[in-house]
């Protein structure tokens, strides 16, 4: 869950890429990073609707999502505060995911939204459960580590905890089954063509 990692290491990422003079942008980066999960889920909507042959739904979904994002961005901008603008943008991306899920899962694929949510909630919970102890340790015990060392320690500890929680919830079994079926389909396609 990249967005948890970006929020956890937002200070280190900004300092490494832009230097100490950009430290005031760390909260903005963390806020915008919190919506990364929803942005990534939203980005797959277009190809999925196109492959289902439902470009009419793609136009409708994109129009609704654009209105949601622009309105939330404008509401944040009207306050005249960059933090509120970042919150508005992040909120807009998180809110528009509902249109993506509805149009892809419910209408195009004729599936149940509950099934989709079950698949998405498990990695979110695993990421959150891995994020909380890392953030508490970072704030309590290691507030002034070297930037590179801090990034390395917390990226590795978060990744390790995340993997442990995914294994405990059976997520790796699902991923293995998925990739095994994809490899099988690929081999069958090569054999018959």
**Banded pLDDT at 95 (limits 50, 70, 90):** very high
pLDDT confidence of residue 18: 92
Among the residue ranges 20-29, 65-74, 93-102, 160-169, the one predicted with the least confidence is 160-169
pLDDT confidence of residue 81: 93
Best-predicted range by mean pLDDT (16-25, 53-62, 174-183):
16-25
107, pLDDT greater than 80: no
Cα distance from N-terminal residue to C-terminal residue, the chain = 37
Measuring CA to CA, which residue among 11, 21, 1 is closest to residue 150? Answer: 11
**Banded pLDDT at 126 (limits 50, 70, 90):** confident
| Average pLDDT across the chain, whole number | 83
193, pLDDT greater than 60: no
pLDDT confidence of residue 127: 83
Q: Which residue has the higher pLDDT, 46 or 73?
A: 73
- Asked whether 25 and 12 are in contact (CB, 8 A), the reply is no
Question: What average pLDDT does range 74-97 have in this prediction?
Answer: 93
**In angstroms, rounded to a whole number, what is the distance separating the alpha carbons of residues 103 and 56?**
10
Retrieve residue 92's tokens. Answer: 């807009």
Retrieve residue 35's tokens. Answer: 């919506």
pTM: 0.78
Written as one string, the DSSP assignment of the chain is -HHHHHHHTHHHHHHHHH-GGGGGGHHHHHHHHTTHHHHHHHHTHHHHHHHTT-HHHHHHHHHHHHHHHHHHHHHHHHTT-HHHHHHHHHHHHHHHHHHHHIIIIIIIS---HHHHHHHHHHHHHHHHHHHHHHHHHHHHT-TT--HHHHHHHHHHHHHHHHHHHHHHTTHHHHHHHHHHHHHHHHHHHHHH-
**Banded pLDDT at 190 (limits 50, 70, 90):** low
**In angstroms, rounded to a whole number, what is the distance separating the alpha carbons of residues 193 and 189?**
6
């Amino acid at each position: 869950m990249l967005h948890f990692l970006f929020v956890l290491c937002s200070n280190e990422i900004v300092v490494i890429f832009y230097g100490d003079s950009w430290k005031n942008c760390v909260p903005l980066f963390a806020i915008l990073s919190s919506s990364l999960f929803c942005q990534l889920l939203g980005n797959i909507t277009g190809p999925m609707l196109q492959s289902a042959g439902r470009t009419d739904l793609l136009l409708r979904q994109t129009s609704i999502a654009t209105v949601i994002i622009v309105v939330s961005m404008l509401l944040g901008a009207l306050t005249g505060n960059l933090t509120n603008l970042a919150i508005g943008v992040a909120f807009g991306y998180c809110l528009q995911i509902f249109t993506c899920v509805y149009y892809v899962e419910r209408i195009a694929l004729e599936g149940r939204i509950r099934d989709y949510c079950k698949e998405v909630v498990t990695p979110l919970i695993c990421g959150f459960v891995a994020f909380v102890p890392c953030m508490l340790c970072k704030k309590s015990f290691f507030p002034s580590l070297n930037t590179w060392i801090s990034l390395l320690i917390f990226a590795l500890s978060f990744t390790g905890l995340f993997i442990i929680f995914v294994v405990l919830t059976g997520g790796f079994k699902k991923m293995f089954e998925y990739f095994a079926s994809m490899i099988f389909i690929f081999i069958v396609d090569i054999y018959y063509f």
